[in-house]
Each structure stands twice: as C-alpha cells, then as structure tokens.
C-alpha cells in the first residue's frame, strides 16, 4: 500500500469531518464522517459538487438554522469566509449539533476543511458556565466575605461583600495583590497569613477589623489552601463571617459578668461585715453579760459586805456603848471597882478593831482610786519582819498560837514602802493567827531565789480552805464563810488589800491552801527591788 493509500485510509478513519476542495471550489475528497453527516443531502456532498451548491442544498433542507430568513446574506458571508478564511468558527445545525470549522486555503488554489464535533464540549462548557454563574450568585449573595487568590497572591474571585469592605469593585480587584489594594501594614499582615496557610498546607483563622456603616465590624476569616487533583496548592481561599454582634454580646456578657462579680464581691464583703458585726455584737453581748454578772456579783458582794460590816461595826460599838453606859451609871458600883478596868480593856480592844476595819476600807479605796502615794526606801528585811511579828505577838499569845521566824542569812535590802510592807505582813500574820487553832503554829520565812527575787512565805497550820474557794478569798468584800453568824469575823479585805499592795510594788501574791491542813501565802518581789545591803545604805536605793 502506497503512502497516498495509507493517508486516505487514515483520513477515512478520522472522527473529524475532512473535505478537500480544488481551485474551482469543487469537492475532491471527503471522508466517511463528512458523508454520514450529510446523508440528507448526499447527492450534494459527492466529489465534483461545488461548495456553494452544497450550502444551498443544506439551506433548502433546513440544516442551517442561522440562515433562516436571511438565506442569501448568510450564503454570501459564508462563501466570503470560505474563500478568505480568518480562523476557526462554530456552526450549529438544526439538530442541535455544534461544529467547529477550520478552513485553510491551499497554495495552488483550493481549500482544505476540517470540521470537529464540539457539541459535548459546548455542553460541558455551558454547564460549567451555568455552575459558575450559580456559584457566583451564591457567593455574591452570601452574608460572608469570600475571595480566592492564585498561588502568586493575585485575586481571581471576590464577592460583593468583600469588594465593598475592600473599597474596590470585583473587576478592579481581579489580578491585583493585597499590596495593590491595601496600605502596607494591612497588606503585610494579609500576606503573612497567606504564607502561613501555604507553608502549613492547612486552614487558619484570624479576626479582622473592617470599617462598617455602624462602626468597626469584626470578621472571623478562615483561610484555606486550594489544591488540584495532584494535591498541589494552586491558590488560597478565604471565608470571613461577621461576628460583630457576637463580639458585642460577648463584651456585654463580660461586662455583665464583671459587674456581677463586683456585686457578688460587694455582697460577700457586706456579708462578712455583717458577720463581723454579728461577732462584735455577740462579743459585746458577752462582755455586757460578763459586766452585768460582775456588777451583780459586786452588788451582791457589797450587799453582803454591808451586812457583814454592819455586824462588824455593831458588835464593837455595842460593847463600847454598853460598857461606857455601865461605867457612866456606875451600875457595878463606884468607879473604883476592878470590873471597870476590864470593861475599859474591852472598850479599847473594840475601838482598835473598829479602827482597823475602817483603815482597811480607806486604804483599799485609796489604792483603787489611784490616790495612794508610795514612799520607797531601802528596808532591812529582818527588822521589818521582826516588827510585824512583835505587833501580832500579843494576839498570838492570847490565841495560844506560836509564831516563828525562819529568815536565811540576809545580805541585802528591799526597796519598798515600809508602812505598806508592814501592813501586808501584819494583815497576813493576823489572818494566819486568827484561823489557826490553839496549839497551832504560824511561820514566816524569807529567802532570795536564784533570780534575785525576795520571797516571803507565811505558813500556818490552821483550818485552811478548799482550793476551789481560793479565788473567793482573794476577792474584795467576799468571805468564804459569808453567814452572819460565822465563827470568824472580818470584812474580807485582808487578803485582797495585801495582794493589791504587793502588786503596787510590782510583786505577786499567791495563795496555797488545803482544808484542815493549813495555808501558805507566797509573796514575790522582783529582783529589781533587791539591793545589796551595804551599797544600799550609801546609794539610797536601786539604780
């Protein structure tokens, strides 16, 4: 088979329609596809037929819709293009088939024509355009900001909302980059975001602020890579949602939450304040109750004291009045009688007792009112103790009670008020004698402990008191036995007054006792009041 024969076979097998025209514009050769296409006008499609006659036959058979109504004009235009082709063109037949016609003039005259069936391609293209129009309509009417960039960062699609926010039209934006549209700072931020998406190959989101008719609007923009079938990134898409209302709502909620927290904090503080006030009121009520109880106790103590004092004062006064009346009336005979001497002794003792009671009350009142003056000097402890013992010795002898001194070797003096120290010691010794039965013993001891403090102890073998009654014994105007017919008389001021006078010197008074065994009173004066005896005589007291 020759090359020419092979070429004919090849052309015959082509799906395209191939026609060769000679210089006189007659059909020289046409392949099978051409012949099948023109079956309705086959006799005008055979070799030797002029192309114009072929066209007229097609018009007559209605194969060329665009020629209807303007047959001659269309024929002239078609023949002109056939003789002087300027490029491919498309023709649609009455059956809807669409063809692309390529005509080429040959060097020695004639025409070589190839006609391709592009019906399917046109349908696909039309469908694509329809889909594109639909997509564009959806995008343009979307409440979100949408745009697409190519790999070089040029805008290839932008919807109406995005164009409005950018301040450009869609046509103005296409083919432009961010730096062509926006200020450098904003454009740099957009490009950096694009680069992050390109490098990571995944979507990222960020908030963007755009001007709006009601003030700045916040958009949450998601940028994502666009890939081809090979998985290569060919562009970047962006969808931005207006979250202005949400942000404002969040801001309001945040403010509301902050306000609520402030209110809660204020309420909690108010509650704590009320609780503190309640606690203060409770403490105040407790204090008032204690004060009330103390006042009632003091009132009762004073009432008991007054009753007791009345009894104490009445007894010596009755004796003074009775014996003095006997003496005045000389009831027992003339004044020369020995009985008058005994009565005189009783009157004297009752007067002394009454004077002691009054002195105790006055002394305690002066100390409590702060009017008591202290005249301090260096005292010789042995002399003070001896003087106190001698003052109560007669009373002790009358009661049948032995009084002993146990004083260690004293090489120092006590810096104190002599009268008050004497009053303390005589009160304590008198008490010890009073509450010790005949045959008993009272001992006074003095020593200096390791800290340099002077310690006085008055110990008796008397009736003692129960440990739980010790606080009563140290309370003013209170007596352990408060009955009016009690065995041991007194105001109940002895121990409290002694304690107050010791504390006036910075010291302490402690009471230890056991009922039926005896009592120990311990006086402790601070080391600051201990003065070496020899130096004290020349220095005039502690420095």
What length is written for the chain?
A: 543
* Residue that has been written with the tokens 């109940």 in this structure: 492
Question: Tokens in use for 483?
Answer: 């009955």
Sign of the CA dihedral with 383 first, then 386, 392, and 395 last: negative
Assess whether 342 and 379 both reside in one domain: no
Residue 109 lies in a domain: yes
Residues 205 and 276 in one domain: no
Q: Tell me: the pLDDT tens digits for 387-417?
A: 999 999 998 999 999 999 988 777 789 999 9
Residue that is last in its domain, among 189, 219, 242: 242
Distance CA 507, CA 378 (A): 16
Instruction: Report if residue 125 sits inside a domain.
Output: no
Distance from C-alpha of 421 to C-alpha of 505, rounded to nearest angstrom: 9
Residues 394 and 532 in one domain: yes
Q: In what order do the strands lie in the sheet with 454-460?
A: 402-407, 441-448, 454-460, 518-525, 508-514
Same domain as 520, residue 395? yes
Same domain, 278 and 195: no
Distances (CA, A) of 174 to 129, 208, 219, 225, 446: 18, 21, 22, 19, 116
Residues 204 and 303 in one domain: no
Which strands make up the sheet holding 155-158, listed edge to edge? 155-158, 145-150, 233-242, 217-227, 204-210
* pLDDT tens, residue by residue, 449-504: 888 899 999 999 999 988 888 887 777 555 555 443 344 555 556 788 889 899 98
- Gap between the Cα atoms of 192 and 137, Å rounded: 30
- Claim to verify: residue 90 and residue 161 sit in the same structural domain: no
In 72-203 the beta strands, taken as DSSP E runs, fall at 89-92, 98-105, 111-117, 145-150, 155-158
Q: Are residues 378 and 455 in the same domain?
A: yes
Residues paired with residue 521 on neighbouring β-strands, in sequence order:
458, 511
Same domain for 358 and 312: yes
pLDDT at position 179 is: 93
Q: Using CB atoms within 10 Å of the CB of residue 478, give its burial: 0 to 12 exposed, 13 to 18 middle, 19+ buried.
A: buried
Of the residues 242, 271, 294, the one at which a domain ends: 242
Residues 264 and 196 in one domain: no
Angle at 248 between CA 247 and CA 252, to 5 degrees: 115
> Tokens 């209605």 correspond to what residue?
62
Whether residues 236 and 287 fall in one domain: no
CATH value at residue 425: 3.30.565.10
Look at residue 124 and tell me if it is in a domain.
no
Q: How many Å apart are CA 365 and CA 273, to the nearest integer?
A: 43
CB atoms under 10 Å from CB of 395, counted, come to 15
Q: Is residue 132 part of a domain?
A: no
Which pLDDT value is given to residue 298?
A: 58
Q: Looking only at Cα atoms, what is the longest distance across the chain?
A: 204
> How far is the C-alpha of 201 from the C-alpha of 323, rounded, in Å?
129
Q: Kindly tell me the burial class for residue 220, based on how many C-beta atoms sit within 10 Å of its own C-beta (0-12, 13-18, 19 or more).
A: middle
Q: SS3 of 148, please?
A: strand
Q: Which residue in the block uniquely carries the two structure tokens 């649609």?
A: 92
Task: Report the pLDDT value the prediction gives residue 109, as an integer from 0 to 100.
Answer: 85
User: What CATH number is associated with residue 281?
Assistant: 1.10.287.130
pLDDT of residue 352: 63
46 in a structural domain: yes
Q: Quick check: 103 and 86 in contact, CB under 8 A?
A: no
Q: With a cut of 70, list the residues of the chain below it in pLDDT.
A: 131-133, 135-141, 295, 297-315, 317, 325, 327-330, 333, 335-338, 340-341, 345-346, 348-372, 476-493, 533-543
- Domain span at residue 221? 139-242
Q: How many domains does the chain contain in total?
A: 4
127 part of a folded domain: no
What pLDDT shows up at residue 537? 41
d(CA 534, CA 469): 43
* Residue 133 covered by a domain: no
pTM for this model (two decimals):
0.39
HEC profile for 366-424? HHHHCCCCCCEEEECHHHHHHHHHHHHHHHHHHHCCEEEEEECCCCEEEEEEHHHHHHH
Chain position carrying tokens 């454009």:
187
Is there a single domain that holds both residue 152 and residue 203? yes
CATH (domain of 201): 3.30.450.20
Q: Which two tokens stand for residue 188?
A: 């740099």
Does some domain include residue 129? no
Q: Which of these three, 197, 224, 242, is where a domain ends? A: 242
């Amino acid at each position: 088979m020759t090359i020419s024969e092979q070429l004919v076979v090849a052309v015959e097998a082509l799906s395209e329609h191939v026609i060769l025209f000679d210089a006189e514009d007659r059909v020289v050769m046409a392949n099978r596809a051409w012949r099948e296409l023109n079956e309705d006008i086959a006799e005008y499609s055979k070799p030797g037929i002029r192309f114009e006659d072929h066209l007229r036959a097609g018009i007559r058979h209605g194969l060329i819709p665009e020629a209807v109504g303007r047959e001659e004009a269309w024929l002239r235009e078609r023949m002109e293009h056939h003789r002087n082709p300027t490029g491919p063109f498309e023709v649609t037949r009455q059956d809807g088939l669409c063809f692309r016609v390529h005509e080429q003039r040959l060097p020695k005259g004639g025409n070589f024509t190839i006609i391709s069936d592009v019906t399917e391609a046109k349908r696909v293209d039309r469908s694509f355009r329809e889909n594109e129009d639909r997509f564009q309509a959806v995008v343009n009417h979307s409440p979100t900001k949408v745009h697409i960039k190519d790999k070089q960062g040029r805008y290839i699609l932008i919807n109406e909302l995005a164009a409005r926010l950018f301040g450009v039209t869609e046509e103005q934006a296409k083919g432009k980059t961010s730096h062509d549209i926006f200020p450098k700072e904003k454009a740099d931020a957009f490009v950096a975001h694009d680069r992050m998406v390109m490098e990571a190959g995944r979507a990222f989101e960020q908030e963007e602020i755009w001007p709006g008719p009601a003030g700045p609007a916040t958009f949450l923009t998601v940028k994502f890579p666009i890939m081809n079938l090979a998985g290569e990134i060919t562009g970047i898409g962006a969808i931005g949602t207006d979250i202005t209302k949400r942000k404002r709502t969040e801001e309001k909620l945040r403010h509301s939450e902050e306000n609520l927290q402030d209110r809660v904090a204020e309420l909690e503080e108010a509650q704590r304040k009320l609780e503190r006030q309640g606690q203060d009121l409770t403490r105040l009520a407790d204090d008032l109750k204690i004060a009330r109880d103390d006042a009632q106790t003091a009132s009762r103590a004073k009432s008991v004291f007054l009753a007791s004092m009345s009894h104490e004062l009445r007894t010596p006064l009755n004796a003074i009045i009775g014996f003095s009346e006997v003496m005045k009336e000389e009831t027992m005979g003339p004044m020369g009688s020995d009985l008058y001497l005994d009565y005189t002794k009783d009157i004297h003792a009752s007067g002394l007792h009454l004077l002691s009671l009054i002195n105790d009350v006055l002394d305690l009142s002066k100390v409590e009112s702060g009017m008591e003056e202290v005249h301090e000097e260096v005292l010789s402890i042995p002399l003070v103790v001896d003087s106190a013992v001698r003052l109560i010795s007669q009373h002790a002898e009358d009661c049948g009670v032995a009084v002993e001194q146990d004083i260690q070797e004293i090489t120092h003096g006590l810096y104190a008020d002599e009268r008050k120290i004497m009053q303390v010691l005589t009160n304590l010794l008198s008490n010890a004698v009073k509450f010790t039965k005949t045959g008993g013993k009272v001992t006074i001891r003095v020593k200096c402990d390791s800290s340099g403090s002077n310690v006085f102890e008055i110990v008796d073998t008397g009736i003692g008191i129960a440990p739980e009654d010790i606080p009563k014994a140290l309370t003013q105007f209170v007596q352990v036995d408060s009955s009016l017919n009690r065995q041991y008389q007194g105001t109940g001021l002895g121990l409290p007054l002694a304690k107050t006078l010791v504390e006036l010197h910075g010291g302490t008074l402690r009471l230890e006792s056991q009922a039926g065994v005896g009592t120990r009173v311990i006086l402790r004066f601070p080391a600051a009041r201990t003065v070496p005896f020899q130096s004290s005589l020349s220095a005039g007291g502690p420095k």
